Structure 1
């Protein structure tokens, strides 16, 4: 018993496209990100956050903006700073 008549038809091309989307979605959900990728992205996110905060909240810092950027980059990369 079909209570509602179909208003559309799913062609083979549409079904194949939907299958591809579902496969990609399943792959992305199951994928784990490597530490080699996550670590630098996390450091970059912290660096950008610190840079934007210092630019918007403390424009009169003793260090010039590019100097501060280099200083934060060194910290994020684990280098010693002066």
Structure 2
């Protein structure tokens, strides 16, 4: 059975706005603006904390998706052949 490969990071869509669940009120920034207009200070604080946490999680996920170099500890050709490239 063939293994499924994960698409490269550039092929995956980037979510520009965090979705809302079940409220139907729109993106989080709109909800924060509405709460500020209405004077719901506790709601503003809660939404800002939630938004900051979601942005931090997205940053962690994006950092985890960046390609990185893994040193395997293999010797260089010069070490194997017994010579160096200096003149």
Both structures adopt the same fold (TM-score exceeding 0.5): no
Give the TM-score, by structure 2 length: 0.29
Q: Which structure would you say has the larger RCO, counting Cα contacts within 8 Å and 6 or more residues apart?
A: 1
Task: Please state which structure has a larger fraction of its residues in helix.
Answer: 1
